[in-house]
Structure 1
Amino acid sequence: MTTISCGIDFGTSNTSVAIDNNGEISLVPVEQGSVTIPSAIFFQSIDNKPFFGRTAVNLFFDRKPGRFMRSLKRVLGTSLMKHGTIVNGSSMNFATIITSFLRHVKAKADAVAGQEIEHVVMGRPVHFVDNDPMADAQAQAELKAIAERIGFKYIDFQFEPIAAAFAHEAKLNGEKLAIVADLGGGTSDFTVIRLSNKAIHKPDRSSDILANTGIRVGGNDFDKELSLAAIMPELGYRSRYGDKQLEVPLKPFHDLAEWSKVNFLYTPKVIMQTRQFLHQSHDKKRYRRLLKVLEDETGHTLLAAAEGAKIALSSQNEHRAAFDFIEDDFFITIKRALFEAAIQDEVEKIAASATQCLREAGVRNEDIDLVILTGGSTEVHSIQAEFKRLFPKAEIADENKLSSVGLGLAYDSQHKFGKSPKQTLIAP
């Protein structure tokens, strides 16, 4: 039987898979004809049956009873992997949850291949966890164990920005010195690499990879900062309560602005405390909106509105966001200038990490011929402007933003498993 290998880009926001079938690299339709699937899962309450991707998102926003989760990748390497979470009244660990999602994705690839695929290159960020090598190694080990649980026997890993470079290299003429900026939902990763269509079949590319850097900042952080700057103040964020004019507790607002923390707010204790602060609030109209969101468990709907505003502001100077799920005729007008001011620190961290990558590679900004932008967060206007400022003479390549990493991982699987497959379990 022909060895078919694949690459899986398990992303914080979206996931894709591509297969190498006898030298032909192709993306797999993973949901409703699309080659990407949102990294989301919904367990319906009646029997904990899981639904995935857009189906999961739609079930949640249709207010079907159950438990909805996104940004699962950010749990890898953290204490939450051990502690787990409550799903419809029962404890469930995150390894089981992520396994369920990735098994669904693998089944799509197996169906297209017409056989059980045993060889995979899994994408990984340069750092799952910043400044913590032990947690970073733990995260990769957890992802490897999950890959084994869903049926892979030969498993390797590749940095996501390197994979994106491989995907673009297939279409190059000549040689170029490139920097890859892979800005996803949870991380931003960079690679300086020499690319050439003559080098694409080299079994060892280590001499072409000059440097890798990464930082745990991504599109989810943009959502959070936008929410805190433009939306949460209309829910009583930083308002006052009591005779001493104290500031209301900020933690519920911060947790409500993070995909991975929203579900932890829907407890009797948090809701009771919020009611107590509402009684003493100096801005009852706005603070009551916070209580309603918690009571109705619409935090993910709130975050989806923030994400929608972020996307809209990539092409518009102003966006009118609807929050009628909180109260009738409730709209917030958000200007791009406010959004860009809110994420300025994050953009500066991303630019600093890219600059560090150049420094470690021993090259200058003007030496870069090609900037490869991949990941949905590269659509943000200030990110685009920053990379044009950093590399004014370079060509910008930004096609296939959401699927180039998956394609590149399949090219890498072709190199690693195409002739004499062997198990390789060490990070690049």
Structure 2
Amino acid sequence: MKQASCGVDFGTSNSSIALAQGGQVRLVPVEQDSVTIPSAIFFLKKETLVGRAAVQRFLQREDGRFMRSLKRVLGTPLMNTGTLVNGRSMTFATIIGTFLAHLKARADAETGHPVEEVVMGRPVHFVDGNPAADAQAEKELRQIAESVGFRHISFQFEPIAAAFAHEQRVSGEKLALVVDLGGGTSDFTVIRLSAANAAKADRSSDILANTGVRIGGNDFDKNLSLAEVMPELGYRSTYGDKRIEVPLRPFHDLSEWSKVNFLYTLKTISQTRQMWYQSHDKIRFGRLLKVLEQESGHVLLAATEDAKIALTEDESYPIPLNFLEEGLTIPAGRSHFEDAIREDVAQITASATACLLQAGVSAADIELVILTGGSTEVPLIQSEFRKLFPGAAIADENKLSSVGLGLAYDSHNKFGR
């Protein structure tokens, strides 16, 4: 069987792996028949699960340690401190490696031999405004890739990879803007696409600019949570004789996938319980205490994410919180959601505009806008980019798999598989 190379899209929310073999590129089924997998891992006492299986078993309230949004830990001090997993210390390199090893094992099984050549996707900026942390994040991801068996490792910006995937269907030459909105970052590339150049190993002359900002779908979850859910858990309520506002940090951490687990400490729960005794809103603040005691923060955030997804189609959605109180629902409206994320969307569109400026082109010059990543389905995002580029064609198919495919096309050009 012919040797193969691959592209790995390790995403904040979802991941994929695609093979380049004998000049053909294909996505690998990574969880049953699905070619994408949630970037989630669940350490139970006697087994470790990834993807949908991890999410399903966690939501069944089995004992263990559940994690999502691991990509956001790269380049941060948490990579060095690690975390407790079922009573024992574990580094995030080991945790991320466990997830990536699953992807590689599926690719190895598909080809019948170890796949050692890989193009890893990466955001334009792992960490905003910190080149040293950004370089460290790539170094850490390289070391993790090596630890699971990859020997020849290259990196490519995720929006460029998405462009390579769409280029396979481009006729003639087009000036394109790639809008890649993932769970943790929003990245942009201005690139010249053409079928004639698709097989070139070096595309640097076609790539006019790259920009990015560390804002994505997880931030939309957080802002929706703070706007609609956390007030029903006592957010900004008061306690004590002096009517002091309760600390805001637990609510913010409870609204962010990568920080939820760090709230389940005896100190945090004890402090919250003491404030509850003095709370002026015992019912709502008591819900916060219950979430911490039950360690059900991820269940709460999953309900918020479901609401975000539902609001892409519906104007309103009742968020069910039966696990806290029988019959408890929180009404969420699209207009409130859009108000909550408006500042984030402004930063996202500002980064896209900066990409045009860096490329030396105007919005009118863009012939094709490629939307990729699940967050591009948010109606406010759709309307803003259609407003910015009224004369451009919009391509938004394969939102969750185009980066993985494009990375595999890049691996074919780089490694000759």
TM superposition score category, shorter chain reference: over 0.9
Instruction: Tell me which of 393, 396, 408 is aligned to 1:395.
Output: 393
Conserved? CA contact 2:257–2:298, under 8 Å: yes
Conserved? CA contact 2:19–2:408, under 8 Å: yes
**1:277-320 superposed Cα distances (whole Å, 9 cap, x missing partner):** 11111111111110111111110000001100000001111111
Conserved? CA contact 2:25–2:405, under 8 Å: yes
Unmatched segments (≥5 aa) in structure 2? none
* Matched residue, 1:78: 76
Conserved? CA contact 2:97–2:147, under 8 Å: yes
Displacement of 1:203? 2.1
Runs of 4+ aligned structure 1 residues displaced above 6 Å come to: none
Conserved? CA contact 1:182–1:188, under 8 Å: yes
* Matched residue, 2:28: 28
**2:380 corresponds to 1:356:** no
**2:86 corresponds to 1:88:** yes
* Matched residue, 2:211: 213
* Matched residue, 1:332: 330
**1:129-155 superposed Cα distances (whole Å, 9 cap, x missing partner):** 000001000000000011111111111
Conserved? CA contact 1:3–1:418, under 8 Å: no
* Matched residue, 2:131: 133
Alignment of 1:113-128 (within 5 A): 113-128=111-126
Give the whole-Å Cα distance in 1 for the aligned partners of 2:83 and 2:200.
45
Instruction: Tell me which of 174, 177, 191 is aligned to 2:175.
Output: 177
* Matched residue, 2:18: 18
The secondary structure found in structure 2 opposite 1:198 is helix
Instruction: Tell me which of 81, 102, 105 is aligned to 1:104.
Output: 102
Displacement of 1:404? 0.1
Give the whole-Å Cα distance in 2 for the aligned partners of 1:147 and 1:413.
15
Conserved? CA contact 2:5–2:415, under 8 Å: yes
Of all paired residues, the percent bearing the same amino acid is: 67
**2:61 corresponds to 1:68:** no
**2:52 corresponds to 1:43:** no
**1:153-180 superposed Cα distances (whole Å, 9 cap, x missing partner):** 1110000000000000001111110000
Give the whole-Å Cα distance in 1 for the aligned partners of 2:269 and 2:368.
51
The secondary structure found in structure 1 opposite 2:391 is coil
Q: Which amino acid aligns with 2:260?
A: V
* TM-score (structure 2 length as normaliser): 0.99
**2:272 corresponds to 1:274:** yes
Instruction: Tell me which of 403, 406, 410 is aligned to 1:405.
Output: 403
* Matched residue, 1:167: 165
**1:179-233 superposed Cα distances (whole Å, 9 cap, x missing partner):** 0010000000000000001110122110000000000000000000000000000
Q: Which amino acid aligns with 1:36?
A: T
* Matched residue, 2:191: 193
Give the whole-Å Cα distance in 1 for the aligned partners of 2:346 and 2:111.
43
The secondary structure found in structure 1 opposite 2:31 is coil
Displacement of 1:3? 2.7
Give the whole-Å Cα distance in 2 for the aligned partners of 1:151 and 1:125.
22
Alignment of 1:316-331 (within 5 A): 316-331=314-329
Give the whole-Å Cα distance in 1 for the aligned partners of 2:376 and 2:160.
17
Displacement of 1:321? 1.0
Give the whole-Å Cα distance in 1 for the aligned partners of 2:391 and 2:91.
49
Give the whole-Å Cα distance in 2 for the aligned partners of 1:2 and 1:25.
13
* TM-score (structure 1 length as normaliser): 0.97
* Matched residue, 1:234: 232
**1:254-291 superposed Cα distances (whole Å, 9 cap, x missing partner):** 01000111111111111111111111111111111101
Bigger shift: 237-246 or 92-101? 237-246
The secondary structure found in structure 1 opposite 2:196 is coil
* Matched residue, 2:260: 262
Conserved? CA contact 1:169–1:200, under 8 Å: yes
Give the whole-Å Cα distance in 1 for the aligned partners of 2:262 and 2:142.
27
Give the whole-Å Cα distance in 1 for the aligned partners of 2:19 and 2:68.
25
* Matched residue, 1:423: none
Q: Which amino acid aligns with 2:37?
A: I
Give the whole-Å Cα distance in 2 for the aligned partners of 1:297 and 1:98.
22
Q: Which amino acid aligns with 2:367?
A: D
Give the whole-Å Cα distance in 2 for the aligned partners of 1:274 and 1:152.
46
* Matched residue, 1:425: none
Conserved? CA contact 1:71–1:260, under 8 Å: yes
Give the whole-Å Cα distance in 2 for the aligned partners of 1:357 and 1:387.
14
The secondary structure found in structure 1 opposite 2:84 is strand
* Matched residue, 2:283: 285
**1:36-93 superposed Cα distances (whole Å, 9 cap, x missing partner):** 0100001102x3x311100110110011111000000000000000000000010000
The secondary structure found in structure 2 opposite 1:401 is coil
Q: Which amino acid aligns with 1:181?
A: V
Displacement of 1:328? 0.6
User: Cα RMSD over matched residues?
Assistant: 0.8
Give the whole-Å Cα distance in 1 for the aligned partners of 2:197 and 2:170.
11
Conserved? CA contact 2:201–2:410, under 8 Å: no
Q: Which amino acid aligns with 2:302?
A: A
Alignment of 1:136-147 (within 5 A): 136-147=134-145
Q: Which amino acid aligns with 1:281?
A: S
The secondary structure found in structure 1 opposite 2:184 is coil
- The alignment of Structure 1 onto Structure 2 pairs a total of residues equal to 417
